[in-house]
Amino acid sequence: MAMEYQVEVDGETYNVRFFERDGQLHVAHAGGTYPVHVSTPLRSKVQLAQMNGKPQRFGYHRGKESTDIVLDGIVYSAEVKETEHVRLAAVAKRKGGGGASDVKAPMPGMVIAINVKVGDEVKKNQSLLSLHAMKLENDIRAPREGVVKEIAVKPNDVLEKGALMIKLGPLPEKDS
């Protein structure tokens, strides 16, 4: 049965499709279509695979937020979604104006300033707060339009990666 995924790594989105042909699993993506075979059990943190006839060894760890792949010592954090789910979510969002969404800290850091307050209506890409991390101030912007439902942090808070910062709710229904 064919399955298609949208994978986000290092800010890029990749489309990856799997299907069986002649009893052999194949992968299709922008880099080509070829057979893949994995010889290690799923639970193994070190995976051995044959991809396009070449042996590949990589580290694998499935975390809560993302899947980590370790390749040439580099940790790649990948967000894997079924393309079908992404499509359904987009439809739902169009219909309902979007559900709630959490804005989380993309990296560990300290909150410098909060630029919105609860109840504010924000546009997509509007600045929500600034986070000091890696010696730089990082502007955290709204991933979509919505209403600020909750602000879970205050200035000078030191956050871990993935900490909830702001909850956005759907925009109120407008009488048109």
Partner 1 sequence: MFKKILIANRGEIALRVIRACRKLNVQSVAVFSDADSHLPFVQEADEAHYLGPSPSADSYLRIDRIVDLAKEYGAEGIHPGYGFLAENANFAKACEAAGIVFIGPDSGAIDRLGDKRHAKAVAEEAGVPVTPWVKCAGEADKETVAAVESIGFPVMIKPSAGGGGKGMHRADTLEELTELLPKAAREAKASFGDDSLLVEKFLPTPRHIEVQIVGDTHGNVLHFFERECSLQRRHQKLLEETPSPSLTPEQRKKICQDAVKIAQTANYSNAGTCEFLYDEANGSWYFCEVNTRLQVEHPVTEQVTGYDLVELQLRVASGEKLEIKQEQVRQTGHAIELRINSEDPFMNFMPSLGYIEAFSPPEGEGIRVDAGYHTGDSVTQFYDSLVAKLILHGGDRVITTKLAKQALRDFMVVGVATTIPFHLNLMEHPDFVAGKFDIHWVEQHMAELTTRNRSADAAVMAALMEYRRLQKVRAAQSRAGELAFDPWSSSSLPRLK
Q: Which range, of 69-77, 94-102, 144-152, 163-171, touches partner 1 by CB under 8 A?
A: 69-77
The yes or no reply on residue 73 touching partner 1 (CB under 8 A) is yes
Give CA–CA dist 50/54, Å, rounded. Answer: 5
Enter the DSSP assignment of 64: S
Please identify which residue in the block is written with the tokens 């010889």. 39
Taking CB under 8 A as the rule, does residue 69 contact partner 1? yes
- Establish if 158 lies at the interface with partner 1 (CB under 8 A): no
Q: Say how far apart CA 130 and CA 141 lie, in whole Å.
A: 9
Place of tokens 């979509």: 144
Tokens 């399955």 -> residue: 3
**22 counts as binding partner 1 under rule CB under 8 A:** no
Q: What is the 3-state secondary structure (H, E, C) of 137-161?
A: EEEEECCCCEEEEEECCCCCCEECC
Among 33, 39, 45, 155, binds partner 1 (CB under 8 A): 45
Q: Which is closer to partner 1, CB of 68 or CB of 145?
A: 68
Return the range that interacts with partner 1 (CB under 8 A); candidates 58-66, 96-104, 117-125, 139-147: 58-66
Among residues 24, 33, 39, 61, which is the contact residue for partner 1, using CB under 8 A? 61
Contacts with partner 1, residue ranges (CB under 8 A):
3, 5, 7-10, 12, 14, 16, 18, 27, 29-31, 36, 38, 42, 45-47, 49, 51, 56-62, 67-76, 78, 80, 107-108, 134-135
